[in-house]
Structure 1
């Protein structure tokens, strides 16, 4: 399956965790990579390491994804440096610091987590997608989660934010019909990172998703092989890109929908 060699990828949250793996993996496949994160020093070190290890062109741009002006400046700098952005990967996002029910969470802290998963990607989409549409080509990958598809007693802000992000992806994909630009939800599974290992639900976990599986699925999207899945949910470590490339999803497959209570359900 082709890789996104020669493309320009912008990866948010690129200094650590899954974002760091994605930056390295896409660079190793021949993409130029713009890394965006809040910590300037850590991000610069990460992008320097990626460039040294892969020989790819990289650019580190420090910005908070929820800051409109900072995002606009970051995208402008990336486009000035590389001329375009072919692949946008919205990976950055916060996790609930306190494992408490929703009514016990600090409202400001709770909302900051939601905003990181909704406002952040929306600002990046607003800054990047117009250029893609003008060129008639581009792909957006929003990092979803298993918690996008179900509720639970804790990590409620993360769950709400990721669910909203899935709906944003579907709306974006619908609006992009006929433009040559596609948008995807990609759940990375559970990769062993500093964030995931701090979560109580993963305390005894032994079956971790390999970072390379996440990179492979994003690379397959970037290559254009999975455009038929635009607006739908993909899951690294479970979905095989080669298998997906041979399928054409129909109807509402892999999209958020209400489940009917029975044949007579009037809402269904």
Structure 2
């Protein structure tokens, strides 16, 4: 799908990071953008910035993506205001990183991560895809993570939710194709992008509690991650690569490549298991 002036896009988690960068890029192309976030004050500042930079309308909406009814109501408001919805960017997400193995991690934290990262995405699909189906056009972008193709030791709630986000995206496209519906799906699996969420987790891993808790292997892993993060992708470039994937009709896109070969290693293990099973 060509991303162009006159279209209408919805971007969740748009107050900062990749969501903000995608919204900015869309506005620069003349797309009207509905920006969604829980943080009203920074969202308002982003709305003012985008309104000054683009020709399309910019509408801020303070909504919790984990609230299914609120997301459905938002979709209805967008449809009523603009009469169309072309692009849905399910970007909102959280990434707690306390350095605990999953058998010690807080259960309430797990539930919140899944509520936002997985059910928030599902709520976006359930709220907006019916409007795309009715129009017979559009594209859904789900922002997952490279952790959804490999793994994130000591942050299992995040990695698990992102694996689920990848599977959700694949199943969404399969169902749309099964029904002959011309709606695209792209699942984005970035590694390290220079965003506030990444920087916050980076600061946490430098704290003394991590050194006390982890063994030599884990410490070496953190040092390797720290080295990799020296060359993080900038959000504006990540946004351009995401929209390029949309226009190419790609299902999967890795805007930062395969950091530390994690996705390749996992894929090879699966392929080796298939070979060992004797399947063709």
Higher RCO, 1 or 2 (CA under 8 Å, sep at least 6)?
A: 2
TM-score range, shorter chain: 0.7 to 0.9
Asked if residue 214 in structure 1 is aligned to residue 238 in structure 2, the reply is: yes
Question: TM-score if structure 2 supplies the norm length?
Answer: 0.81
Partner of 2:210: none
Question: Residues 2 and 171 of structure 1: is their aligned pair in 2 closer, same or farther, counting only changes over 3 Å?
Answer: closer
Partner of 1:236: 255
Partner of 1:138: 138
Within 5 A, what are the aligned runs for 1:17-96? 17-96=17-96
CA deviation map 1:244-266 (0-9, x unaligned):
xxxxxxxxxxx999333363414
Asked if residue 265 in structure 1 is aligned to residue 277 in structure 2, the reply is: yes
What CA RMSD, in Å, does the superposition of the two structures yield over aligned residues? 2.3
Partner of 1:113: 113
Higher helix share: 2
Unaligned runs of 5+ in 1: 240-254
Q: Following TM superposition, by how much is the alpha carbon of 1:13 offset from its aligned partner in structure 2, in angstroms?
A: 0.2
Question: Residues 77 and 111 of structure 1: is their aligned pair in 2 closer, same or farther, counting only changes over 3 Å?
Answer: same
Q: Distance in 1 between matches of 2:128 and 2:17?
A: 23
Which residue of 181, 185, 188 maps to 2:187? Answer: 185
Q: Following TM superposition, by how much is the alpha carbon of 1:214 offset from its aligned partner in structure 2, in angstroms?
A: 1.9
Within 5 A, what are the aligned runs for 1:241-260? 258-260=270-272
What is the count of residue pairs matched by the alignment?
Answer: 248
Q: Distance in 2 between matches of 1:215 and 1:29?
A: 12
Retained in 1: the 8 A contact 2:193–2:234? Answer: yes
Q: Distance in 2 between matches of 1:101 and 1:139?
A: 37
Question: Residues 3 and 128 of structure 1: is their aligned pair in 2 closer, same or farther, counting only changes over 3 Å?
Answer: closer
Q: Which moved more, 1:164-173 or 1:109-118?
A: 109-118
Partner of 2:10: 10
Q: Following TM superposition, by how much is the alpha carbon of 1:88 offset from its aligned partner in structure 2, in angstroms?
A: 0.5
Q: Distance in 2 between matches of 1:257 and 1:138?
A: 35
Q: Distance in 1 between matches of 2:60 and 2:165?
A: 25
Retained in 1: the 8 A contact 2:27–2:53? Answer: no
Bigger radius of gyration, 1 or 2? 2
Retained in 1: the 8 A contact 2:12–2:91? Answer: yes
Unaligned runs of 5+ in 2: 206-221, 259-266
Retained in 2: the 8 A contact 1:96–1:110? Answer: no
Q: Distance in 2 between matches of 1:174 and 1:236?
A: 23
Partner of 1:195: 197
Retained in 2: the 8 A contact 1:4–1:219? Answer: no
Q: Distance in 1 between matches of 2:101 and 2:279?
A: 29
Q: Distance in 1 between matches of 2:84 and 2:2?
A: 20
Question: TM-score if structure 1 supplies the norm length?
Answer: 0.85
